Amino acid sequence: MVGEMSCIFCQIVAGKVPGEILYQDEKVIAFRDINPQSPTHLIIIPKKHIPSLAHLSEAESSLIGDMVTVANQLARREGISESGYRLVINCGKQGGQLVPHLHMHLLGGRKLSDTLG
Ligand code: AMP
Ligand code: ZN
């Protein structure tokens, strides 16, 4: 509980920290990244606090499909469906995850790097 109360993304879900929320339903919420790496840079998360992909149980795995569905809808809304985009989930320290609440990045609006790091 302590971890969740100090989680920045849980605070956005709870409306305690402002976010430019673009979509929400009972399971998923999406908002604009505060430090965008591309013209479109959105964050899609489960409302439930799951610390990372490595903590996702088999029973919860359909959430990833829900997040992809939302990402595809938002890509259309942002006008980058045709030009192309990238969905990224960083997991853990070496995977580059900074916020310990499972999230998917939707990046697009420019030609992205050919390398994945
Ligand atoms: P990651 O490195 O995969 O953990 O990415 C975390 C992302 O969350 C970064 O792109 C941050 O810019 C973004 N971020 C952190 N705090 C906020 C916030 N309050 N509102 C929106 N995006 C945020
Ligand atoms: Zn959280």
**Cβ of 38 less than 6 Å from ligand 1:** no
Mutate to test the pocket of ligand 1, among 6, 43, 67, 91 (most ligand atoms within 8 A of CB): 43
Q: 3-state DSSP call for residue 22?
A: strand
pLDDT at residue 114 tops 60: yes
Q: Which two tokens stand for residue 10?
A: 């849980």
Q: 3-state DSSP call for residue 44?
A: strand
Whether 55 sits among the annotated catalytic residues: the reply is no
| Ligand (nearest to CA of 46) | 2
Give the fold, CATH level 3, of 2-108: HIT family, subunit A (3.30.428)
Tens-place pLDDT, residues 23-38:
999 999 999 999 999 9
CA of residue 72 relative to chain centroid, distance: 12
**Domain residue ranges of the chain, discontinuous segments joined by +:** 2-108
| Ligand (nearest to CA of 48) | 2
Tens-place pLDDT, residues 65-84:
999 999 999 999 999 999 99
pTM for this structure? 0.97
Return the percentage of the chain with pLDDT > 70, whole number: 97
Q: Which two tokens stand for residue 23?
A: 């979509």
